[in-house]
Amino acid sequence: MFGPGKLGLGELLLIFTIALVIFGPSKLPELGRSMGEAINQFKNASKEITDEINKPLDDKDKKDA
């Protein structure tokens, strides 16, 4: 049913149904929007951290060339 990294149609419908029961139909668009914003902020923060980690390596490579 729940494999690593695999969500099928049945699992998605189950999650949507549970969310619909818990939050109600009027809150779902707001919930989806806020979850999308949170995912975008997480991606941006992780990209910034990765860039900061790779920055000293890039500077070192330029000096060696």
Note the pLDDT of residue 53: 85
With contact defined as beta carbons under 8 Å apart, do 21 and 9 qualify?
Answer: no
pLDDT tens for 35-57 read 999 999 999 999 999 998 888 76
The answer, as to whether pTM is greater than 0.85, is no
Note the pLDDT of residue 63: 62
pLDDT tens for 17-36 read 998 999 898 998 998 899 99
Note the pLDDT of residue 56: 73
First-to-last C-alpha distance (Å) of the chain: 52
Is the predicted pLDDT of residue 64 greater than 60, yes or no? no
